[in-house]
Structure 1
């Protein structure tokens, strides 16, 4: 069970690293308000209106109904963070957290009982009845 959990954790952490460092772009081409093409990692294909506008007069070029939108999602470039950027309070917190976390899983040795080999004394008479002292 422990090895399976370890493997699942390792795969999850590898996926987290891959997805946080990966960057990609989504390019969309609109003709008017209608989405014509969507492309991932490359430019979207034109609907052909650009060629027709290029052949027509200059007044029509200014009134083009086509436009491109590009969504860029940047990944993380720097994976190794420097400890010099961490403030003193954050360093103290990390040290205290690490110390308390490590001590959670320590197995303490059972304490030795010094009188384990001796039997308890025999009860000769009940002292509370003998002295007539009762809790009220």
Structure 2
């Protein structure tokens, strides 16, 4: 279970780093405040190709009107200033960590049961 969680977390972190460092633009075309087309690879198709009658004719906006349509772009600018974090330990910190881990892990070691060989012998 631990291996699966580790793999899922590493894939998630890899995708996060990839998404934050990659630049892309998404173009969206809206008609009557509704999304008509979305494109990540190029320009969004205008609503001229998708002429349809609006469902509600009481609205001021219709697909035939050119002024109610809008094209918006979402731009994600990648982060290029990634820094590799390095931490150097001085000798005092290294000795402290070594002593700490040694004493901490020795708490969980089982003690060996030693048999006393004197019990089976007769007293002098």
TM-score, scaled relative to structure 1? 0.41
TM-score, scaled relative to structure 2? 0.44
Larger Rg: 1
